[in-house]
Homo-oligomer: A and B are copies of this chain.
Amino acid sequence: MAHSHDDHAGHDHVWAADLTRNQALVLGALAHADTPLSAYQLLDQLRAEGLRAPLQVYRALEKLVERGLAHRLESLNAFVACADEHCHRTGLIAFAICSTCGKVDEFADTIIEDRLGAWSEGQGFTVERTTMEIRGTCGSCAAS
């Protein structure tokens, strides 16, 4: 179900895409969070909207991740909304996760992508997806 929002234009066409109600609820919750949320945290937040079972959340997440609108952070078992810039990127995305404040920075690096591509080609390995997560302390937290 399409929903109103106040994001800037770059996001609109994405939000307008035909998300189902549950998908929109989950993506909305992720977009308003400033740290990753686990499926069960999402469920708790969305009980007020009528969600009752983990599966409702997992199913929504599955579609959102599939479409690149959300990402799963494997090292956290949690999810984030995709940052605007990369919404339509097909390539590799890396995440820097601050252990102190929990915030996540999403970035892309074509050289890394190329290196992985080269390795894969050399090995005859066909890449389906890549997980790249760095854990540590972000600049602001280090400053404090």
Contacts and interface: CB of A to CB of B under 8 A. Distances in A.
Interface of A: 74-75, 94, 96, 98-99, 105, 107, 109, 111-112, 115-116, 119-120, 123-139, 142-143
Contacts of A99: 128
Nearest to A140: B124
Q: Please tell me how many copies of the chain the complex holds.
A: 2
A109 B105 contact: no
A138 B124 contact: yes
A108 to B, nearest CB: 10
Contacts of A132: 130-133
Residue among A75, A107, A130, A134 with max Cβ neighbours from chain B (10 Å):
A134
25 contacts: A74-B131, A74-B133, A94-B116, A94-B119, A96-B119, A96-B120, A99-B128, A109-B115, A109-B119, A111-B115, A115-B115, A123-B138, A123-B139, A124-B143, A125-B137, A125-B138, A125-B139, A126-B136, A128-B135, A128-B137, A129-B136, A130-B133, A131-B134, A131-B135, A132-B132
